[in-house]
Amino acid sequence: MIDVELLRAPLCHTPADAFREEGALVCHEDGGLAVRDGRIAACGDFASVRASFPTAPVTDWHGGMILPGFVDTHVHFPQLRILGGLGRTLLDWLEHVALPEEARMADVAYSTDTARTFVRALVSHGTTTALVFGSHFAPATAALFDAAAAAGVRVISGLVMSDRLLRSELLQSPRDAHRDSTELIRRYHGRGRLLYAVTPRFALSASEPMLEMCQALLAEHPGLRTQTHINESVEEIAQVPSYFPWAADYLAVYERFGLTGSRTVLAHDVFPTDSELARLAADDTSIAHCPSSNAALGNGIFPLRRHVDAGVRVALGTDVGGGTGFGMLKEGLQAHLMQRIAEPAGLNLDPARLCYLVTRAGAEAVGLGDEIGDFSRGKAADLVYVRPPSGSPLAEVLSRSQSMVESLAAIFTLAGPESVREVRVAGETVHQL
């Protein structure tokens, strides 16, 4: 058994918040990462790391770049097979594309197969941690947890709960949802790399008794996360008052039932009011920004600058299958592109901010900021080794790159799964090309 392993390659990470601190991006052109017992023992220039561990074996990964493992903060496992359903609005897409497929998850063999393919897709794109919408069916959600445990990836997920609006197979009473959730929490929450997230689908499909039950689950089990959707499309938001006439805005619905705070991730938030932004910041609630999905479903351009100026935590999500795939690098690029065309209101997502968004911001959003997200000493060694195939456009660009920042920008622009050579979670290899 190897005590310490040294990885040698160019490396970048963001130990600080790239939206709020200058110099948050730390890069080492000839980098060294010492890994002991699945944790970072040292990170820096190879020569200095080498001096601390003079006899440790070295894995030479030159020709590529090491980055912290990516954190996808919003993705739906039952929607893998409906990626590419372009050209519809959110509510039309849900009814005619997403929900019929989600109903198929009642078949355990089908959902188990989907779950395995899903976790393979995560790791092959460099995602080491994901906050995942499970299924409306408990056995399918269990299949996702089992597949994640078998693959070694960190998954935070939960039974998706709805008791109105959706097709009848997907509806459950609050009492049954409480029973099934409790059983899943007992089986999976805190087991290995798994955590449980209370997951009401969205306000339109969850009654007040259902949301009260979600609040009860959070009180009954310490350490749970919460995930749902908010302010995604104009058409959706317009329906909130008819279900919750007492609510001043969309966020007020979740606030009423204690579903906001530092352990909550709300997906989208394309149309927040200033008051909602101030309350999200005050409560330390995170937003999962899903730019591909926002564009594909025609919802709108995310007001990133308003979120950052208000002090709201923002991370990135692929939103498979409303989005366009599993690549967090691609999602970062999409965020960058949409902020470009949002000028003058858009925010420039430079490589430091992109790196932060796909790694540390996600770690903080899912409440794992002390454990993962960058290469600080003592954190788990979750990492991605990106090296493009020789002769590929990315390899050519990198070969003439003048700086690490330039290389990082090129990786966000051009790297797909063909360039994700190795992925490790807590030092264990979970994917290799």
CB of 297 to ligand GUN, least distance (A): 6
Contacts of 357 (CB under 8 A, 6+ apart): 18, 289, 314, 315, 316, 332, 335, 349
**Which one of Zn ion, ligand GUN, none is in contact with 141 (Cβ closer than 5 to 8 A by kind)?**
none
136 binds ligand GUN (CB under 6 A): no
Give the type of residue at 40: I
CB of 86 to ligand GUN, least distance (A): 13
Contacts of 413 (CB under 8 A, 6+ apart): 333
CA distance 224 to 211: 15
- Cβ proximity of 380 and 372 under 8 Å: yes
CA distance 291 to 337: 9
CA distance 212 to 209: 5
Interface with ligand GUN (CB under 6 A), residue total 11
CB of 93 to Zn ion, least distance (A): 11
CB of 202 to Zn ion, least distance (A): 8
Beta carbon nearer to ligand GUN, 89 or 173: 89
**Residue span 166-205 as binding mask against ligand GUN, x where in contact by CB under 6 A, dash where not:** -----------------------------------xx---
Beta carbon nearer to Zn ion, 297 or 361: 297
Tokens (6 digits) for 4? 């310490």
CA distance 141 to 199: 11
**Residue span 300-339 as binding mask against ligand GUN, x where in contact by CB under 6 A, dash where not:** -------------------x--x-----------------
Beta carbon nearer to ligand GUN, 94 or 349: 94
Contacts of 424 (CB under 8 A, 6+ apart): 69, 128, 381, 382, 383, 430
**Which residue is listed with tokens 């990135």?**
316
CA distance 148 to 134: 12
CA distance 256 to 215: 10
Q: Which of residues 263-282 bind Zn ion (CB under 5 A)?
A: 267
Q: Which residue is nearest to ligand GUN (CB)?
A: 322
Cβ count within 10 A of residue 26: 20
Tokens (6 digits) for 391? 């002769």
Give the type of residue at 183: E
**Which one of ligand GUN, Zn ion, none is in contact with 98 (Cβ closer than 5 to 8 A by kind)?**
ligand GUN
Tell me which stretch binds Zn ion (CB under 5 A): 48-56, 234-242, 316-324, 350-358: 316-324
DSSP 96: I
Count H helices and E strands in the chain, helices first: 17, 17
CB of 183 to ligand GUN, least distance (A): 23
**Which one of ligand GUN, Zn ion, none is in contact with 201 (Cβ closer than 5 to 8 A by kind)?**
ligand GUN
**Which one of Zn ion, ligand GUN, none is in contact with 188 (Cβ closer than 5 to 8 A by kind)?**
none
φ, ψ for residue 297 (rounded to 5)? -90, 0
Q: Which of residues 213-242 bind ligand GUN (CB under 6 A)?
A: 229, 232
Tell me which stretch binds ligand GUN (CB under 6 A): 63-71, 90-98, 179-187, 374-382: 90-98
CB of 170 to ligand GUN, least distance (A): 10
**Which one of ligand GUN, Zn ion, none is in contact with 94 (Cβ closer than 5 to 8 A by kind)?**
ligand GUN
How far out from the chain centre does Cα 245 lie?
Answer: 32
DSSP H helical segments within 84-166, as ranges? Answer: 90-93, 99-103, 108-124, 138-151
Cβ count within 10 A of residue 235: 12
Beta carbon nearer to ligand GUN, 147 or 290: 290
CB of 71 to Zn ion, least distance (A): 16
**Residue span 265-294 as binding mask against ligand GUN, x where in contact by CB under 6 A, dash where not:** ----------------------------x-
Beta carbon nearer to ligand GUN, 101 or 374: 101
CB of 201 to ligand GUN, least distance (A): 5
Beta carbon nearer to ligand GUN, 208 or 350: 208
**Residue span 95-114 as binding mask against ligand GUN, x where in contact by CB under 6 A, dash where not:** ---x----------------
CA distance 101 to 81: 8
CA distance 317 to 361: 11
- Cβ proximity of 322 and 78 under 8 Å: no
Beta carbon nearer to ligand GUN, 362 or 388: 362
Positions in the binding site for ligand GUN (CB under 6 A): 76, 90, 94, 98, 201-202, 229, 232, 293, 319, 322
Positions in the binding site for Zn ion (CB under 5 A): 267, 319
